[in-house]
Amino acid sequence: MSEVDTQRELREDLADKRVGIIGLGGLGSNVAAMLVRTGVLHLVLADFDVVDESNLNRQLYFREDIGRLKTEALADTLRRIDPDVELDLIATRVGEAEIVAIGRRVDVLVEATDCADTKALVMNAAAQHLPDLPCVAASGLAGLGSANTVVTTALTERLWVVGDLTSDVSTGLPLAASRVMIAAAHEAHAVVRILLGMVEP
């Protein structure tokens, strides 16, 4: 089987899968792009915010996107990667009910928000109301600690957390594009493996 055939088979296996991403910042924007590049073509993308200049250090947006809704700006970029991608854009702040509604429509839910309260909201919504839905979250990706300390940890049989679990941006640590994108890549890769029926550690 050629490399092209192998890639085609992977894309065919992922083409009908649906992934929901809550938060389109440094994690979510990069997770979405990696999933589309790998072959996931149905995404539900939720973020209420607009692109700010301060986002450009790590998020998949460009100077001309400043002031645009993140959902709209990211949708344009994803369609440039693959015009066949089908996107459901939610440009409002989501609460528990909306998170559960999104979760019911997807095969995997990704927590990709930036504050601890919202992370807990998404993880609690999934763990309490959708116990059979795989959910991949992130916690502990701030600062300049070793890339090797960003790992994927199973909290339950359906909830995984990516990060070193402790590096907290609210303590004054910076957000470096390299480490944030490592965490995003861990999240995206965990999603792909879950969608393909593999068992995450």
Partner 1 sequence: MRIELALFASLEPYLPDSEPGSGRRTRMIDLPDGTTVGEVVARLGLPDQPRVCFIDGRGVKEDATIAGGSRLAIFPPVAGG
Site for partner 1 in 21-80 (CB under 8 A): 23, 25-28
- Give long-range contacts, CB 8 A cutoff, 24+ apart: 143-152: 143/167, 143/173, 143/174, 143/176, 143/179, 144/173, 144/174, 144/176, 144/179, 145/179, 147/178, 147/179, 147/182, 150/179, 150/182, 150/183, 150/186, 151/186, 152/186, 152/190, 152/200, 152/201
Question: What token pair was written down for 12?
Answer: 């065919």
Residue with smaller CB distance to partner 1, 116 or 147: 116
> How many positions of this chain bind partner 1 (CB under 8 A)?
42
Smaller CB distance to partner 1: residue 41 or 162?
162
Cα of 122 vs its chain's centroid, Å: 12
Give yes or no for residue 146 binding partner 1 (CB under 8 A).
Answer: no
The correct pick among 70, 158, 186, 189 for binding partner 1 (CB under 8 A) is 158
- Cβ at position 150, least distance to partner 1 in Å: 11
Give me the least distance between CB of 76 and partner 1, in Å please. 21
Binders of partner 1 in range 80-139 (CB under 8 A): 112-117, 119-120, 123-124, 126-129, 131, 137-139
Which residue number, 26 or 39, has a Cβ lying nearer to partner 1? Answer: 26
Q: How far is the CB of 107 from partner 1 (least distance, A)?
A: 19
Q: What residues contact residue 179 under an 8 Å CB cut-off, 6+ apart? A: 141, 142, 143, 144, 145, 147, 150
Binding site for partner 1 (CB under 8 A): 23, 25-28, 112-117, 119-120, 123-124, 126-129, 131, 137-142, 155-159, 161, 163, 165-170, 173, 175, 180
